[in-house]
Amino acid sequence: MFTRLSLRLRIFLFFGLLALGAALLAAGALYFGWARAETGVPSAPFVTALILFAFLNTALIAGIWLLFDENVAKPIDKLASELRLRAHSGVDKEVETDAAKYLGDLAPAANAVSATLNTNVVDTAAQVARETERLQAETARLTALLTEIPLATILVNPAHEIVLYDGQAAEVLAQIAPPRLKAPLTDYFDAEGLASAQAKLAKADAEISTQLADLSGERSFNVSLKPLATNGYMLILDAKTVDTGSRSPRPLVYDFDLLDSGQTVDIMNTELRSLCFVAFDTETTGLSPQTDDVVQIGAVRVLNGRIVAGEILDSYVNPGRPIPPASTKVHRVTNDHVRGAPDFVTAGRQLHHFARDAVLVAHNAPFDLAFLHRFAAQMDVEWSHPVLDTVLLSAVVFGTTEQHSLDALCNRLSVSIPAELRHTALGDAQATAEALVKLIPLLEGKGLVTFGDVIAETKKHGRLLKDMNLTPPNSG
C-alpha cells in the first residue's frame, strides 16, 4: 500500500507518526502521573510522568529513526553508489530498485537515466572496439616483424625510465630482473656505464654505440643509443649476442604517457591514477601468518589507471614442508607443483623487485603482508611500500553495511573471475587489479583524487581492517 503513495507523502507520514506518537505518549504519561496523585502516593507524580514520557519518547524516536534509516537513508546511499558505479566505472547492468521501493519514482527514474547512458556508452564502446581490433591486428603484425629482427628495443624517457620494450628486450631484461614499465634502467644495467653512455649521447646529440654491463657485471651487451626528437631516447641491444631462447612472439609493452613522466616527490599529494600499483596475492598452507607458509605468489602491475598487459609475476613457492590436503582443496596447489620451485625468500625478492617504486595492493592486505614482513630480514629487503587494501576501498565507495569479500566486490564492479582461476594467486591478483582500476574513478567521483585523500578516508574504516600505512608512506 505504502509503495503507491508519493515520496513526499511518505516522508510526511513518518514525521506525522512521530508527532502523533509523542502526543499519545505525553497524554499517557500525564494520565499515569494524575492517577498516582489521586491514590495519594507520596511522590512527585508529574516528575515521574516526565521521566516516563522522556523514556518512551526516546524509544519512539529511535524506532522512527530505524524505520527512516532502513527505508530512506540506506536506500539513498545504495542508489547513489549504484549510480556512481555506472557513471564512473562503466558497469552495464540495471540499477537495483528493490531496496529503494519506498522512495517513490526515484529508483525507476535513476534506472531510466542509467539505461539511456548505458545505451550511449555501448554504442561508443562498439566503435572503440572496432578501432581497437584494427589496432591490435596492426600491433600483432608489428610484433611478428620485430620478432624476426635480431634487435632488442627499449624506449626511455628523459628520467631514464622504460616507456616501451619489445619481445626481445623483454627476454634480455628478464635474465636480469622482471621487466617492467617505468623502471629506471639502473635496475638492469650498471649505473656507471649508463651514466657514461648518457653523457656521451647528450654531448653528441646523435646516435652512439657502446657497451653496457648488467647489474652483476657478468654479461656485456653491444648497444646503440639514439636520441628522439620528442624527448628521451631509444636503447637498442644486439640480440644476436644474447641468448633470448626461441624468440617466440611477445607483445609490445608500452605506455607513451610515461614520456612526459616526472619523478614523484610527495606520494601523498600525487594523483591516484598517475601512480604505479602492484596488485598481489598469496596462497598458503593455512590461515596463520605466524606459523603457515606461502605456496604461490601472483602479481599484476597497474600503471596510469590501466593494467599493463604482459607484466605479471606468477610463481609456485616451495614451503619446505608438505601442503595440508585441506589447503590444497582450496587453492589446488599440490606438493608436486612446488617441488623444485624457489623458496619464499627467493620468490619474495622477485616480488620486491617487481614492486619497486609501486604501491602494493591486496584484498585483506594485513594477511598477505604479514608473510612478507615475517621473512623480510631473510630476504634482506624492506617492505616499506605504501599500501592500498581493496577491502577498505570497497568500504569507502560502497559503505560499511555492504559485503566486502573479493567475490562480492567483483560482482558489484562486474569483474569476472573464471572459476578455474579463483583462489589461485595470479587469478585473485588479476581480479584485485581489475577491481582497483574500476574503483579509482569511483574514488575520484567522491572527491578522493590523491593518494593522501584515499589514505585519510580508509583510516576511518579501521574497525574493518588494520590500515597498513601506519607511518607516512614513501614511494618504496
188-215 per-position pLDDT tens digit: 999 999 999 999 998 888 999 999 999 8
CATH for 267-461? 3.30.420.10
Find the DSSP H helices in 69-166.
74-89, 106-148
- The reported pTM is 0.74
Distance CA 127, CA 186 (A): 41
Nearest CA among 115, 80, 107, 90 for reference residue 402: 80
The rounded mean pLDDT for the chain is 82
Distance CA 29, CA 53 (A): 5
CATH for 149-254? 3.30.450.20
Distance CA 197, CA 25 (A): 88
Q: Residue 125 corresponds to which cell in the numbers above?
A: 564502446
What mean pLDDT comes out for the span 402-424?
Answer: 90
Look at the alpha carbons of 361, 367, 368, 373 in this order and tell me if their dihedral is positive or negative.
positive
pLDDT score for 476: 39
pLDDT score for 475: 39
Query: Mind listing the pLDDT tens digit for each residue in 320-375?
Result: 999 999 999 999 999 999 999 999 999 999 999 999 989 999 999 999 999 999 99
Q: Residue 288 corresponds to which cell in the numbers above?
A: 596463520
Reply yes or no on whether the pLDDT at 123 is more than 60.
Answer: no
Report, in this order, helix, strand and coil percent for the chain, each rounded to 5. Answer: 50, 15, 30
User: What ranges do the domains of the chain cover?
Assistant: 2-118, 149-254, 267-461
- C-alpha 350, offset from chain centre: 21
Q: Is the distance from CB of 315 to CB of 297 less than 8 angstroms?
A: yes
